[in-house]
Amino acid sequence: MTEVPPREVDEPTLLVTLTGEDRPGVTSALFSALAQTPATVLDVEQVVVRGQLTLAVLLTTGGSESVRAAALDVAEELDMKVRCKRGTGDAAHRREGRLHVTLLAAPLLPAAIAAVAEKLAEQDANIDRIRRISRWPVTTVEIDVSGGDVPSMRREISVTAAAHGIDAAVSPAGLARRGRRLVVMDVDSTLIQGEVIEMLAGHSGRAAEVAAVTERAMRGELDFAQSLHERVAELAGLPESVLAEVGDAIQLTPGARTLVRTLQRLGFTVALVSGGFQEVIAPLARTLGIEHVEANRLEVVDGVLTGRVRGDVLDRAGKAAALRRFAESEGLPLSRTIAIGDGANDLDMLSSAGLGIAFNAKPLVRERADATVNVPFLDAVLYLLGIPREEIEEADRADDLDTPH
């Protein structure tokens, strides 16, 4: 194999930055002109914002003035602005500690971006690039950062984001963000709107009693297992047929179908872990193509609910254990897992995952999660993973589907 000669670190370079109204042929014109010079290309970046083009090219010049002259001629011909900056070598290497900071809001105000940028500067982190991930129904921008540390940056950015009423996520860049992942979701008030046990209680005429037990649990008078046993006891005597009726009445959270099918298109594995009931959740999972489901089970005797739970209660620790089992069965490390939930019962699962996302969660959960989503669209989770809405809509159109909201 031919040995590649080392590049000169002090060779003359020229950074050409061309700006102006975008139109077909600008890039072609510049590089066609440069092709007549001894220049070689070291780096190229181009962006178009609202019809305004910025094209930056880092070139070697071989010491020839013809490279700069060619750039000036093209700018004059196209009636565009050009800036030429001389230098030496290719200083394009980013510092260590590369990460992504994603900001999501409706609306996203300049003050929020200013505050986050100031916090990054205070941490001696550099903003390398900013891109828009979604425009509507929420605005999402992703900031590429170098010189940062993910754990400390998560703490700093989360406080700043909360102060400005926006959602934020900090995630490592590079290969850590690519490839297959496991995404584990809570069900009640996350994948679906409302709580299954409250829907069942409505059929039994005991909704008030179940709500009272829930309130006691919220006050800390009962742990999850105790509260579940007491609430399930209020369902005694219901015919088994109400399970299917409640299943048919379930309403998915807006964006849930979009989230699941997009993750599945990417080859991700999606799983559901719920303190609700397998008898209601498993049929829903099948309609969404989700194979992994872990939930509590209701005891039924002679076609009637007994008011008891079969087996151990799937509580806070059980949810985290289920995430670990699913990851092991998929051959994935925990660093490649994502957990989404809203309640204290999800905290262990969120902390065990590589990325824990609090979705319209209680304050305690938002404070402890790696990232937050406080808009009512579950597919906003995709933006935190760097998946642009335009690509989601394009994939849906290819399958003759409408992307909701």
pTM to 2 decimal places: 0.84
* Distance in angstroms (rounded) separating the CA atoms of residues 155 and 371: 10
Is 315 noted as a catalytic residue in this protein?
no
Tell me the CATH class for 99-178.
Answer: alpha beta
Domains 12-88 and 99-178 share a fold: yes
Q: Which CATH number fits domain 12-88: 3.60.21.10, 3.30.9.10, 3.30.70.260, 3.40.50.2300?
A: 3.30.70.260
Is 167 noted as a catalytic residue in this protein?
no
Candidates 315, 236, 230; CA nearest to 276 is 315
Tokens of 241: 């047929």
Terminal Cα distance for the chain, rounded: 55
- Single out the catalytic residue among 22, 167, 186, 379: 186
286 within 8 A of 320, measured Cβ to Cβ: no
* Distance in angstroms (rounded) separating the CA atoms of residues 233 and 200: 12
Q: What is the CA radius of gyration of the chain?
A: 27
Break the chain into its structural domains and give their ranges.
12-88, 99-178, 183-194+251-398
DSSP strand pairing (126-134 vs 182-185): unpaired
Q: Which helix (H) or strand (E) holds 160?
A: helix 150-163
- Single out the catalytic residue among 10, 90, 149, 188: 188
Candidates 184, 174, 180, 171; CA nearest to 331 is 180
Architecture of domain 183-194+251-398: 3-Layer(aba) Sandwich (3.40)
Sign of CA dihedral 354, 274, 345, 342: positive
* Distance in angstroms (rounded) separating the CA atoms of residues 171 and 381: 13
Q: What is the dihedral of CA 49, 108, 378, 256, to 10 degrees?
A: -40
Taking CA atoms, 330 is separated from 36, 192, 259, 267, 317, in Å, by 54, 25, 20, 12, 20
* Distance in angstroms (rounded) separating the CA atoms of residues 85 and 377: 46
pLDDT per residue as tens, the chain (405 positions):
455 455 555 788 999 999 999 999 999 999 999 999 999 999 999 988 889 999 999 999 988 899 999 999 999 999 999 999 998 876 555 567 789 999 999 999 999 999 999 999 998 999 988 999 999 899 999 999 998 889 889 999 999 999 999 999 999 888 777 889 999 999 999 999 989 999 999 888 888 888 888 778 766 688 888 889 999 999 999 999 999 999 999 999 999 999 999 999 999 999 999 999 999 999 999 999 998 999 999 999 999 999 999 999 999 999 999 999 999 999 999 999 999 999 889 999 999 999 999 999 988 899 899 999 999 999 999 999 999 999 999 999 998 887 765
